[in-house]
Structure 1
């Protein structure tokens, strides 16, 4: 990337950071799904352009699963992803808690409080001894 292009992208990022700062003047955190669907089947042998996820019965591009996760990182917002139960078929579900810039402790504290109201995470058999 040329420096000029990076500067333009950085300016857009700073504008987005300002919009997030405005949002957090009236909200402590934002809670979103971590991903738009539960775990997907193993597709490691499928070429990347052919991989997909299924959301509400509709086939979508594989990297659509990062849509919710992409909200925080590039604008330096703290976020935590935590287990939030399972689907009727037993697949894990999770939520993401996003907080304002430099409010890492707030995000962790909200996660701690929310964990009291969510089902306890199930440890995979490989981790139980």
Structure 2
């Protein structure tokens, strides 16, 4: 770091992303009171993928193996997901939504859209598009 540069926390990307995520998490918990954002993301991905291995599911939502297992265990206990042996590899379990899980998620999906809308509310339409484009690029 150059002599004239100083570290300003309020200008750091990690700090700003964390603060934006905290805002989103508060809005999420106010609207979707019976799922965590991670559980919601897992269920959303299962609506897209239908039936998938636990490892692949975790990778598609950016979770490590232990976190994915914990989320799946909690959703299993609530009867929202189910497991079945893979027809191609009996050692692998495939995860899918139960009928109840599918209905439950469909009831909550609109709330998830509202959370995203509320999170982005301070931005103009152009800023929203640019932010989402930039965040996708950073992935």
Give the alignment's TM-score, normalised by structure 1. Answer: 0.33
TM-score between the two structures when normalised by the length of structure 2: 0.31
| Richer in helix (by share) | 2
Name whichever structure is richer in strand by fraction. 1
